[in-house]
Structure 1
Amino acid sequence: MSTKEWQVAIFGTFDVANYGDLLFPILAEAALQKRLGAVRLRAFSYHSRSTPEWPYPVTSVSELPQFVDSLDGVLIGGGFIIRFDKVVAPDYFPPSPQIHHPTGYWLSPALIALQHNVPLIWNAPGMHRNPIPCWAKPLVRLALEQSTHVRVRDALSANTLRELSEQVQVEVLPDTAFGLPELIDPQQPTPAYRRLCETAGLHGPYLVVHAINGLERFLHLWKTHSATFARWQLLLLPIGPVLGDQESTLGTGLPRAVSLATWPEPLLLAEILAHAQGVIGHSYHLAISALAFGVPIFSSADLSLGKYTALREYRGVHALPNGQAIDPQWFLQRLGTTQPCPRVSAAREQVHRHWDRVAELISQGPRSTSQALDRFWQALPGLLEETHLDWREECLSKQAELDELKVRLQQLTDLQAQQQELIGQTSGELERMYSSSSYRITAPLRSIRRGFRYLLRRWNRC
């Protein structure tokens, strides 16, 4: 193990109060220090943060140019950060208008690292049902092809990125939060956890409830079958305050419910989950943390969509019934901690090998990637022009589709007008017929005919 102090940067949204995002630098630093010895891990996000108000220092991406030449490695992610939409979190924007949003905290740093020959590693970031726009494809392709190690956290993300280039090996890596048992031992509660339980009034087994909307059926179960669950307390816990999580969302009148005076720092929150008898909620990292410690997770997420598809293969994830009441016996039978399932153990081993490889790549030193970037900058004007032409062709194609739809709409409108006119004509003729003297004179004959048909039908049935 080298005596050198390695300088490593990790990029993501570590400047927001969201449990999963805050975990990644902590997990990365512990894993790399275990393998490399002295490691200075610098977390980069849009905005700077400092202790003790924040769990660890965060450096603004606006300062990256002055640090990049001293770096031995760059990690991108994890979390849902491979994205191009503007609504990442409420009022969350770059520190400078010159930094693109939202690629300024993941794609731009990746390209800067490559320009300075710094080994670039994708630390299991992910997408979530979001496409890559045309303008970004050349840049993302470049970053992928020049990276030393590309791992993403689910198959859907991997498939989307693989479509960009046949040269790059994009592989799926389970979320690095599966490595939490390396840092937390449920058999040895920390003093901080003991103090929290004492302060909050948690004196026995408890369930954790994610403080969000959408859990009404579970809350109804808890209220209407209170006696069934009398041995458990309920801990109301925000997972992502930046996303609006708050205890008041769950309402009042919940039997044996407690909440915390302050939002716990990431590892303490993870320890709370490790000691729970069950977890109810929507958060992806709520589920991952529970799985890592063998705690059953009752998920309100749609496990058939996006990033949540990665959870379906793990025993211990139970989808809450959609559109129907929760059977108390079904819920009761699934409570209680167990040994993590074999799939979780395999995920931990994959994460372990990932960190072995990351440490190896960092220790190998700089890579010659700047020339590839230089060639890309030479080609960039042409790419921008092609992207503009592609965009123009796409607009023309969309306009043609729109024109066709307008023609069809006009045809349908004309047809509807013709039908209305025909209905009006028919109604007028019927009205004239009903009001004619011949129609009134023949009315008795029509009545006799109806009566005769009725008698004939009865005769045929006899």
Structure 2
Amino acid sequence: MVDLGLRRIDAWPVEPLAKACRTRGEEALTEHLDERTWQVAIFGTFDVENYGDLLFPIIAEAELARRLGSVELHRFSYHGKSRPEWPYGVTSLTELPRVAAGLDGVLIGGGFLIRFDKVVAHGYGPASADIHHPTGYWLTPALIALQHGIPVMWNAPGMHCNNIPDWARPLLTMALEQSPYVRVRDALTRDTLAALTRQAEIEVLPDTAFGLPRLIDEQRPSAEFIRLREHAGLTGPYIVIHAIHVVESFVKLFEDHAEAFQDYQFLVVPIGPVLGDDPSVIAGRLPRAVTLSFWPEPLLMAELLSQAQAVIGHSYHLAITALAFGVPVFCSADLATGKYTALAGFDSLHALPDVATVDPQWFIARVGKTRPSPAALAAADRLVEHWDRVAAIIRQGKTSSQPVLGAFLQHLPTLLEAAAEGREPVPAESPASPVVPEPDIISPAQNVMAQELAQQQRIVQLSQQLALSDARMRELQNSNSFRVTAPLRSIARGIRNLTANKNRQC
């Protein structure tokens, strides 16, 4: 196993990605850049072949480097990855406990990250059974960072038609309330999380992929893009089609009216191979269809999408990339459901119609790359403010979350035990102060600090009691206490087993 101890953190290789992004897009800001190298971690599923997931670290590194100067971005996922087999280095989450204290900031997400179901992707799970799936790659890292006083910033992650189980509510509430900056990518996610707490300020932020035009210069195609077009035979205007079965009905439109599309080539690409995308599903049925012999790295994929005349598919980040560059989108997803509701207001995004009744001229009339819509430009502008704020929080340094997290962990066994036994926990109380001689002089600053700590602890206690009371009420309404508390009993057993194992090792 590679030694990733704190003495080695400065020795991790710095990839030239941020410099490359600056030369291909907007020039980097040079004012007020710090001479130090900032250690920033980002958490997500960067170890799977899914275009959208792989974008987030690239964007974060480029934007933070513009504002902070030298940034060492540590990408954490379940499994470690390295170049040249992967677009960038990824560190396994098994290493996080040993290196966390050396970080200056933590980014959670983005993407569909706030989830509790087990089927993230086929066969996908943690490298160690000690890491919970799937909160091990987003919620646990946030709590670990907060325990070290590291500022945690939620980088527009989201939910999608999923619920928060009762056992997770106190933990998620704690993480949200102690994070200095919480941004999510759609209103449904914001409303779900806001129901957990009145203390955390949770706001909607456009997905950070709307900032891709700051990394890719449309007027100066990259050498990799030029070579790809030549090698693939993309000699004219092309339409990108997501290699997924849900667009198959639309393929029939091209089959039945091939003459209407003779001016366009079709490029069939997998957006998320890990999710089962496969060009063979539709490519054989399309006239002059082009497929690639490799899966493009994220920025090259983004450039391919940015130069298309239209894109057709189901992928969230396929749609966002196209919208960011003024490419019309024909989307097979339900824009009234879950995460896709965030895209419903873009006028260049069209719901995939019923091809049995659509006129092919309807499609042709909407094809053609133009200037990004006002909504897409506004999203990009908001992201500039977002990265300014993130950089400012990192500069501010350590937070005051450690005492509150300590108080929460101290009370956690009581919560678990009470839940496992199906009863209300005894309210947490501040420990009695020992009788000591009163000092001659009491510093006003010390009084203020003590009051602030007591207030923080009381807020935590009240939040815990409210969350658990809500859970108990749902249990009574369902009249099935065993089902509701089963996960909590499992957690309690897991903690007891972990403690027993540690005792045997001592």
TM-score bracket, shorter-length normalisation: 0.7 to 0.9
1:268-294 deviation digits (Å, cap 9, x = unpaired): 000000000000000000000000000
1:299 Cα offset (Å): 0.2
Q: Name the residue aligned to 1:83.
A: 115
**3-state SS of 1:215 partner:** helix
Distance 1:387 1:154 in 2: 32
**3-state SS of 2:35 partner:** coil
Tell me the TM-score normalized by structure 1.
0.85
Superposition pairs of residues 146-165 of structure 1, within 5 angstroms: 146-165=178-197
Q: Name the residue aligned to 1:166.
A: 198
**3-state SS of 1:315 partner:** coil
- Aligned amino acid, residue 190 of structure 2: A
Compute the RMSD of aligned alpha carbons. 1.5
1:105 Cα offset (Å): 0.2
Distance 2:299 2:345 in 1: 26
* Structure 1 residue ranges without an equivalent (≥5): 402-462
Q: Name the residue aligned to 1:362.
A: 394
1:129 to 136, 146, 161: 161
CA contact (8 A) 2:156 2:204 kept: yes
**3-state SS of 2:350 partner:** strand
Q: Name the residue aligned to 1:107.
A: 139
1:30 aligns with 2:62: yes
1:396 Cα offset (Å): 6.6
Distance 1:355 1:163 in 2: 26
CA contact (8 A) 1:217 1:325 kept: no
Q: Name the residue aligned to 2:353.
A: 321
1:217 Cα offset (Å): 2.4
Task: Quickly say closer, same or farther: Cα 1:152–1:392, change in 2 above 3 A.
Answer: closer
**3-state SS of 1:151 partner:** strand
1:262 aligns with 2:294: yes
1:186 Cα offset (Å): 1.5
1:119 Cα offset (Å): 0.6
- Aligned amino acid, residue 271 of structure 1: E
- Aligned amino acid, residue 198 of structure 2: E
1:238-286 deviation digits (Å, cap 9, x = unpaired): 0000000010111513101100010000000000000000000000000
Q: Percent identity?
A: 60
222-231 or 54-63, which moves further after superposition?
A: 222-231
* Count of residues paired in the alignment: 401
2:86 to 50, 54, 57: 54
Q: Name the residue aligned to 1:228.
A: 260
Q: Which has the larger radius of gyration?
A: 1
Q: Name the residue aligned to 1:336.
A: 368
**3-state SS of 1:38 partner:** strand
1:353 Cα offset (Å): 0.3
1:43-69 deviation digits (Å, cap 9, x = unpaired): 000000000000000000110011111
1:360 Cα offset (Å): 0.3
Moved over 6 A (4+): 390-393
- Aligned amino acid, residue 218 of structure 2: P
Q: Name the residue aligned to 2:385.
A: 353
Q: Name the residue aligned to 1:245.
A: 277
* Structure 2 residue ranges without an equivalent (≥5): 1-32, 423-467, 482-506
- Aligned amino acid, residue 210 of structure 1: H
CA contact (8 A) 1:217 1:326 kept: no
CA contact (8 A) 1:218 1:326 kept: no
CA contact (8 A) 1:320 1:326 kept: no
1:289 to 311, 321, 326: 321
**3-state SS of 1:214 partner:** helix
Distance 1:286 1:241 in 2: 13
CA contact (8 A) 1:83 1:127 kept: yes
Tell me the TM-score normalized by structure 2.
0.77
CA contact (8 A) 2:49 2:274 kept: yes
CA contact (8 A) 1:11 1:109 kept: yes
- Aligned amino acid, residue 119 of structure 2: V
Distance 2:357 2:393 in 1: 51
Distance 2:288 2:160 in 1: 36
Q: Name the residue aligned to 2:221.
A: 189
1:387 Cα offset (Å): 3.6
